Structure 1
Amino acid sequence: MESGSDCCKTCRPDDNDRRAWLKGGVGACAVALLVGIGCSPELAQAALTLAQRDALTPDQIIELMKKGNERFRSGRMNPQDFLAQKRASASGQYPAAIILSCIDSRAPAEIILDIGIGETVNARVAGNVSNPDMLGSMEFACAVAGAKVILVMGHTACGAIKGAIDNVQLGNLTGLLESIKPAIEETQYEGERTSKNAGFVDAVAQSNVRYTIGAIRNISPILADLERGGKIRIVGAMYDLNNGKVNFMS
């Protein structure tokens, strides 16, 4: 490209948060603009490399997720060149995080956090519950692939939560819902404790996120040791279907 204005077409100032994923907080396009040279869509949209991922701390990764959600809510999501990301990640993956979320069609983590190919490992199961298969996947993501954050993300108006509250019996779903029931018992709530009460459903969903995080720490010594050593962070969040906000839980 011959002019800085051409670069701005593909690398807008709003893209700085996206660039932070790629350069540990220093955007490739921001650097290009400062020195007066152009940058290609390949550079702008490439997947994470090992060095770029390793330059990020767990706290920085969480902050970038928050900023991605802010872009989603404002309708100013970064342009994603999925073909460039596919090519860049074909020879290896260096994800920054693994996200355990619900299968609900209204809560796709990659979209609501404005994340591209190769940036996160995404595990989805009704009610975002933990089980041996999920724990094994998390251990692979963190201990082998090098992810630094485990995000357990529930959401409002969760059908799996409602089913557990109602004691639904339906084939293999019955056993899955049993995994949620301890969270129901742990939920302190003054009011109607039924699936018709949206406030109670959401309170249980939050309890379920915390319960899942506890299960991860208690059942996986590998992940617990990584967290104790400061190599990873395990955090929870709730996604609000109404306003699109991901509320991270302390």
Structure 2
Amino acid sequence: MCKNNYKMDLSKRNLLKYSGGIAALSIVGSIPSITYAASLSKEERDGMTPDDVVNSLLEGNKRFISNKTLNHDYRAQKLSSQHGQFPSAVILSCIDSRAPAEIILDSGIGELFNSRVAGNISNDDILGSMEFACAAAGAKVVFVMGHTKCGAVKGAIANVELGNLTGLLDKIKPAIKKTTFVGNRTAENYDFVDAVAKTNVQLVIDDIRKNSPTLRKLENEGRIKIVGAMYDISNGKVSLI
């Protein structure tokens, strides 16, 4: 196969979230569907650019929105990934039960690393996890994903104090001051909450670049991309920031 044909075929498979060559065709009523029975392989992951990975995540979200998600055979993916994993991205997302990254990005077992913490904040442990994902395991994208109507952001705006949560919310508070917003700047105004959540994503990305020389170097070399996004829990859409 010539190089150009391989690249074109690879791009097509990226958008389909990779069958790994073990996809099984099934029929549901009169609508054909594909069951993806293999996890992402090293060859497939390494053949992707960071832009390919970002586009693949967004295509997965489009499938989620349209209710045309892939028919993942999770048991088969579990078996195929038992001796190794080759995820294409590491996601930093919130613990909110309405924002499960793997589902809203329509990904299977072995495709994504996912760090979840209230308010999708960054800390030393998460930075270390990201460094493992990218520098050691070969992921191509750091994807920081906030979401609308975030309870952690709302709590930070309302100055909630509760055990260890107090310190976590303090990490979000800089985003409140740095958010330009005309209107009611309170926790009861979800337009303001969402604006702060977006600013928080941007500040988290700044923090990642500042506090992880490893990830910064990989990004400067073009080996990875660090990108931000917001997930709208009302319509299911993931939008890049």
| TM-score, scaled relative to structure 2 | 0.88
Larger relative helix fraction: 1
Identity %: 57
The answer to whether residue 153 in structure 2 is matched with residue 161 in structure 1 is: yes
Letter of the 1:190 counterpart: V
RMSD value over aligned CA atoms? Answer: 1.9
Partners of 1:116 and 1:135 in 2: how far apart?
24
The answer to whether residue 210 in structure 2 is matched with residue 218 in structure 1 is: yes
Counterpart of 2:167? 175
Letter of the 2:60 counterpart: G
Letter of the 1:153 counterpart: M
Question: Is the Cα contact below 8 Å between 2:90 and 2:139 reproduced in 1?
Answer: yes
**Number of equivalent positions:** 221
Partners of 1:159 and 1:46 in 2: how far apart?
36
Counterpart of 2:131? 139
- Give structure 2 stretches of 5+ with no counterpart: 1-11, 24-33
| TM-score, scaled relative to structure 1 | 0.85
- Give structure 1 stretches of 5+ with no counterpart: 1-14, 30-39
Tell me how far 1:16 sits from its aligned partner: 5.8
Partners of 1:168 and 1:67 in 2: how far apart?
37
Partners of 1:228 and 1:185 in 2: how far apart?
29
Tell me how far 1:248 sits from its aligned partner: 1.0
Partners of 2:146 and 2:96 in 1: how far apart?
10
The answer to whether residue 18 in structure 2 is matched with residue 21 in structure 1 is: yes
Runs of 4+ residues over 2 Å off in structure 1: 15-23
After superposition, give the CA deviation of every residue in 1:29-73 in whole Å (9 maximum; x if it has no partner).
6xxxxxxxxxx95xx420111111100111011111111001000
Partners of 1:228 and 1:17 in 2: how far apart?
24
Tell me how far 1:18 sits from its aligned partner: 5.6
Tell me how far 1:19 sits from its aligned partner: 3.8
Larger relative strand fraction: 2
Question: Which residue of 121, 134, 143 maps to 1:151?
Answer: 143
Question: Is the Cα contact below 8 Å between 2:17 and 2:107 reproduced in 1?
Answer: no
Partners of 2:106 and 2:163 in 1: how far apart?
35
After superposition, give the CA deviation of every residue in 1:143-165 in whole Å (9 maximum; x if it has no partner).
00100000000000000000000
Partners of 1:114 and 1:207 in 2: how far apart?
26
